Structure 1
C-alpha cells in the first residue's frame, strides 16, 4: 500500500514539469497579437487618456438581472441558491429633520405623474433608474424599480407619448446629473416602454445616441426628438438636436453648422420642451453656436423638430454667452387659450447674470422678469443670515445686492414650472 502511494507521488512529480514545459512551448509557438487587425476597431483600443481616474471612487453598477425585476442568483459550489432580497431601502441617519430614522434616498431628477390617474406616478433617479408606484395618494406608497436590468440607471428625462391616450408609452432618456462630479452610468440613449413600464426597449439610433448626454426628449408616435449637451466624444457632430421618424431605429442631427440647412445651428442644447396643447411646437436653445458660424439663441419649431426659427430677442441674446451659460430651462403653461412660455437662463450656475423671461405669444415676444431673491443679508465675508431682502454678496468693489445665489449649482440643481391653470404663476 505504502509502496503504491510512493509510486503515484513520484509519477506526479515527473508529469507536472513535463506538462508545464509543453504548455510553455505551445504558447511560445503562437504568433504575436496583431492589434492593427481590421477586425478590431482602433477606437476600441485604450488610449492613454482612457486610464481610470484613481482619485475617484469606483462606480458600482448593479449586475444585470436574469429575469426582469429579479436579480441574478449566485451560490458557491455545494450551496443552494437561497439569496433573499433586502432592498431597495433608504439610507438611515441622513442629514434631514422630522423624518423617522432620518431616512434619505438617492437624488430624483424627474417626476412624471399620470395625466388621468393620480395613483400612478413615475420617477427617474439620477443614478437609480425608473421607478413606479400605483398608490401615490396613499400615506406610504410602494415603489417598484422598472429598469434595473439595463446597463445604466442615470435617468435625465421621462415623458409620455401623448399619441398614446392610455399613457402606457413612456420614453426615458439617459444622462448624467449627479452632484458628485456628474458621475453616472454609461450613456446608452433611450429606454421605451409601451405597457406602462412592464418591459422596456433600448433605443440608440444604431449607435448615434451612444455616449450622448441627453437633456430632453419629446415623443410623438414614431417621431422622437432629443437634446444633447455633452458626449463621450465631445464634438459638434455628437451634440445638439437629433430627430428620429422611425421610433428610434435611426436618428439624424438637426442642429448643423451655421443653421442654413434646418434653421438650427450646431451647438449644445440644455433643454427641449413641447407645447402641451400643440404637439408640433417645440422649444430649445443653442449655445456655442458661434463657433460654427451660427447664432446663440432660443429656437422654436412648429413641425415637431424638422425645422427651426430663432425667437429670442436682444435682451435674451445678451445673456446667452458662450463662456458663461451652462443651463437653460423651459416651462409652458398648459392652456389652449394661453401661449405663455417661460425661459430661465443660468450663467455660471446661477440666475445672477442670466435671467427669467416670459412670452405671452408662444415666443414671438419676450419680457424680462424680476429675478428671485433670497431673504438674507450679508454679515461679513461670505455668510448670510435670515434678514432683509435681498442677500448681499461680496464683489471686487465691496458688496452688492445678489439674487438667487445657489453656490453656482444651478447647472444641475435648477427647475422651473409653470402653473397648469394660472398662466401668471411660475
Structure 2
C-alpha cells in the first residue's frame, strides 16, 4: 500500500450518483456522462448486477443508523423538473398523473394544486409513459425508463412495467424489466388484462428487447408482437378507441454511444395492425421513405374521428421533416404545414403530436416551445407562451375543451383558456440535482446544481428557492470567510463568481484550456480562500479568486481517451488538504488517483491498488 494513503479517509469510486432558456444551437447529453461514470472501464452496465444492488440496498439500508434518522424534504417545492407524460382521469378532471424523468409518478387530486409521489419506494423513479384505463380509472399503468434520448435519468434505463389497481396507492411489477426505456403504454379500452407496450430498448447497447410487447393476462405473460431490429424500438403508439384491434406503432431507429449517435434510419417507420398486433404492415403512401428523412416519429389518432391519424416526423439529423395527415386509417397521407413551429436540431427530444379529444382539427405539437393548430395543421401558433422550454406532454379535460395541462422541463403548467394564459404548478419536488452545498456560515442557506435548471439557492424555506445562475448547474463553493463570494459553474467547466451573494455573476475562465468534464471539479484552499483549483486534463490554480488561472500539472489522463458528443479524458475530483495546502488529491475519469505533496511541482499516481473505476469523489481525513 502506498505510504501516502494514510491521509485518505475516503475515496469515492461510486457506481451511482447522489435555466435559462436554451438557444436552439445544441442539445446537451448528461446521460452520456452518467453512463460512462457507471460503465467504465467495460463500457457496459451489468443489468443483473444492478438489480442485485437494488436488492442489497433494500435489505441493508434500513438497518443503518443514518437511514433511520428523521429526514424531511427541503425542496425546492416552487421549482420543478422534467415531466415526461400527463394523464387526466376521464371521469374526474381533478385527478391528474404526471410522469417524471426521475421523480416517479406524481398525483394530484385537486387539479394540480397539490402533488404527491405515489411511486415512492419503487426500485426506479424514471418514468417513460403512463396510461389510465378507460373502463376503470383506478387502474393506472406506468412504463419506466425515460425514452427521450438525452436526460440525466437514464444511465440505468428503467425496470419494466408497473400497475396500480387503486389509483397509485400500491403497485405491482408486471415484468419486462429488460426493455430499457418505454415510449408508450396502451390499455385496451374495455379489457384491462390487455396491454401494449412500446419499448425503445436499452439506450447504450443494441438488444432484441425492444419493439411492441403485448399481454392478454394482465402482465403474467408477454409476447413480443413486433420486432424490427436490435437498434429500432417503438417510441409512440395509438389505439382505435372503439375498435381496439386497430393499432399504430411508430418505430425509431436509434443507436447511442457516449461518443457518437445515430438518431434515424431506414427502419424508422409507422406500422399498422388490424388484428391486435398479430400482423403488422409498414405504412408508406405519402410518408417519408429515405433514411435521411426518418428520425423520431410521433403519432396520434383522433378520438372524435378515429379514421384521422396525424404523424410528426423529425429527420435523421434531428430537425423537423414534416407533419402528415391520413383520413383513411393510415393508408394514404397528405403533408401538412409546419410553419410557425420552432425547428431546432434536436427535435428527437420532444417528438409528440396530440389531437384534441373533442375536435379532430385541433392539434398540439411539442417542441422547444409548445404549439397548437385550429385547422388540421394548416397553421400553427405558440401556446403556453413564456413557459419553461422543452415540451414533452399534454393532458386534456374530457368535458371542458379549453382546460388542459402541459408538461415540460419545468414541470406542469395549467391553462383554462386553451393555452392563451397559464399557471405553473408548484410542489412536484422532482428537480434532478447533480450536487448540493451548504453555506458554512449559515446552515439554513442551501444551494443545488440542477439538470436543466441551473444553480438554485434558498435561505431555508423549501418553498422559496430561486435560480441564481443558468445552464445545467454543477459545483458550488461558498467562501467561508466572506459568504457573499460564491463560485458556481455550468456544464463543461464554465466557471463564474458572485461577489454579492448570488445576485450577479461574472465569468472566471481566463487562462483555462483543454477538455472539461460535464461536471468539472472545483476546490478551494481551506487555508487561503483566494486560492482555488479546477481541471480539464490539466490541473489549474488561481490565487485571485479566478480572475487569472495558470496550469500547474502535465496531463493527468491518458492522451488517447475518445472525445465525442462530450469530452472525456478529464479530471473529476480535486481535494486540498486542510492540514497542508501543498497536498492535493486529484481523481480522473480513467480511474487514476494522483497526489502532489509540493503544491503541484510533482505528482505521483497512487491508484495502483485501487479497482479501475471512474473516480467520482476524493476526500482526505481532515484530522
TM-score norm. by structure 1 comes to 0.62
Give me the whole-angstrom Cα distance separating, in 2, the residues matched to 1:269 and 1:81.
42
Q: Relative contact order (alpha carbons < 8 A, sep ≥ 6): 1 or 2 greater?
A: 2
Report how far residue 186 of structure 1 moved: 4.2
Give me the whole-angstrom Cα distance separating, in 2, the residues matched to 1:51 and 1:420.
42
Q: Which structure carries more helix by proportion?
A: 1
Report how far residue 184 of structure 1 moved: 4.9
Q: Of 144, 160, 163, which aligns to 1:192?
A: 163
Give me the whole-angstrom Cα distance separating, in 2, the residues matched to 1:242 and 1:145.
27
Report how far residue 132 of structure 1 moved: 0.6
Report the 3-state secondary structure (helix = DSSP H, G, I; strand = E; otherwise coil) of the residue aligned with 2:136.
coil
Structure of greater Rg = 1
Deviations 1:19-62 (A, max 9, x none): xxxxxxxxxxxxxxxxxxxxxxxxxx99722489xxxxxxxx9x
Is 1:243 the counterpart of 2:214? The answer is yes
Q: Of 43, 51, 74, which aligns to 1:49?
A: 43
Is 1:169 the counterpart of 2:143? The answer is no
Report how far residue 371 of structure 1 moved: 1.5
Give me the whole-angstrom Cα distance separating, in 2, the residues matched to 1:295 and 1:348.
11
Give me the whole-angstrom Cα distance separating, in 2, the residues matched to 1:185 and 1:242.
20
Give the length in aligned residue pairs.
Answer: 301
CA change 1:363–1:269 in 2 (3 A) is: same
CA change 1:144–1:203 in 2 (3 A) is: same
Contact preservation (8 Å) 1:277, 1:334:
no
Which residue pairs with 2:356 in the alignment? 419
Is 1:405 the counterpart of 2:343? The answer is yes
1:3-402 matched pairs, under 5 angstroms = 48-50=42-44, 75=65, 83-87=70-74, 89-90=76-77, 103-136=78-111, 141-162=113-134, 165-176=135-146, 177=148, 179-180=150-151, 183-205=154-176, 209-220=177-188, 221-231=192-202, 234-235=205-206, 237-256=208-227, 267-288=232-253, 297-313=269-285, 315-318=286-289, 321=291, 325-335=294-304, 337-348=305-316, 350-352=318-320, 354-373=321-340
Which residue pairs with 1:20 in the alignment? none
RMSD: 3.4
Give me the whole-angstrom Cα distance separating, in 2, the residues matched to 1:251 and 1:204.
8
Which residue pairs with 2:409 in the alignment? none
Contact preservation (8 Å) 1:154, 1:184:
no
CA change 1:282–1:183 in 2 (3 A) is: same
CA change 1:349–1:153 in 2 (3 A) is: farther
Give me the whole-angstrom Cα distance separating, in 2, the residues matched to 1:416 and 1:317.
17
Give me the whole-angstrom Cα distance separating, in 1, the residues matched to 2:203 and 2:316.
22
Deviations 1:122-172 (A, max 9, x none): 1000111101111116xxx1111111211211111100122xx33111111
TM-score norm. by structure 2 comes to 0.44
Contact preservation (8 Å) 1:174, 1:189:
yes
Q: Could you tell me which runs of 5 or more consecutive residues in structure 2 were left unpaired when the two chains were aligned.
A: 1-38, 47-53, 255-265, 364-623
Deviations 1:272-331 (A, max 9, x none): 111233322211133559xxxx96532112232222223331x31325x2x563311111
